[in-house]
Amino acid sequence: MKQYKPLIDDWQAFKHACKRPALSTVRKNSIRAGKNFEERLKERFDEVEQSGWNSEVFRLPGEKTPGKSMMHWLGEYYVQEESASLPVQALNPEKDERILDMCAAPGGKTTQIASKMENDGEIVANDDSSRRLKSLHANIYRTGSASVSVTNYDGRRIQENRKYDRILLDAPCTGEGDRARRKFEPADQYEKKNLSELQKQLGEKAETLLKEGGKMVYSTCTINPQENEEVVEYLLENTGLQLEKIEMNPDHRKGVNSFEGNQYGQEMNKTVRIYPHHFESGVIYVAKFRK
């Protein structure tokens, strides 16, 4: 990870954050959450802290197994890292819209979209992995996300006559944030290059599926600019997409303008990077486009 030191605002804080266990956080599901949700959550867990920037997210310091609670099994909340809720916050889906989650499994962001829309609209959750569809279906069912239909296509080959109002492309990536925390071997250059090409192709396809004036959010959970700013710059140069600035309340950093001799445009300042030391959550990169 040392090659990324120039990109990170506080390298020592980043290293320490990667060594700490992940903080348990849950996201309220407005479809299934009953009355007095927060009060009942505090009765179930010793410590509960509401996120300072997302009222639907709650931190559970010291809790290791929030997925074993009856509230979880009833679909009242979804176990999700705090930073992982940012892409859907940026997408800002509205009721009565048609939404595509292009790489949806296991369904955390799909069910967040359904929750924000209160099942009023049409959501298509696509994933190319037949194996991962089981967890996607299970989470949709558990959370009561009745507005969601599931498809199993290679995202680059989705065929649609009707366009979408908004598209979430939470792209397959090297997941370097998680690798750092779990002390896994970093991804090699071959893997990074292959994934970057796939991400660009998925982004190009997403643009063709989007209505004029529609919004698309691109996100990854990796640090590597080859999978982040390079993909965004490619889409700006090769599609009809334009960047919109993301207004974020949590501590974050802007996208980078250069790395290892590669130059990226000033437009990258409109994109967002989150590192583990910002608020004890995972790495995330988010860019928002308008067609």
> Which residue in 18, 103, 173, 221 is the catalytic one?
221
Residue type at 59 in one-letter notation: R
Q: CA-CA distance, 57 to 279, in Å (whole number)?
A: 13
How many residues are present in the chain? 291
Structure tokens belonging to residue 168? 């979430």
CB 271 within 8 A of CB 232: yes
Q: How far is CA 271 from CA 158, 214, 233, 243, 286, in A?
A: 27, 18, 11, 8, 6
Nearest one of 220, 232, 236, 275 to 253, comparing CA atoms:
275
Helices (H) and strands (E) in the chain, counts: 10, 15
Nearest one of 239, 222, 231 to 273, comparing CA atoms:
222
Residue that the structure tokens 């140069």 belong to: 237
Catalytic (active site) residue 221:
yes
What is the C-alpha radius of gyration for the chain, rounded to an integer number of angstroms?
Answer: 18
**In this structure, what are the phi and psi dihedrals at residue 224, rounded to the nearest 5 degrees?**
-55, 115
Q: CA-CA distance, 281 to 112, in Å (whole number)?
A: 18
Q: Residues with catalytic annotation?
A: 221
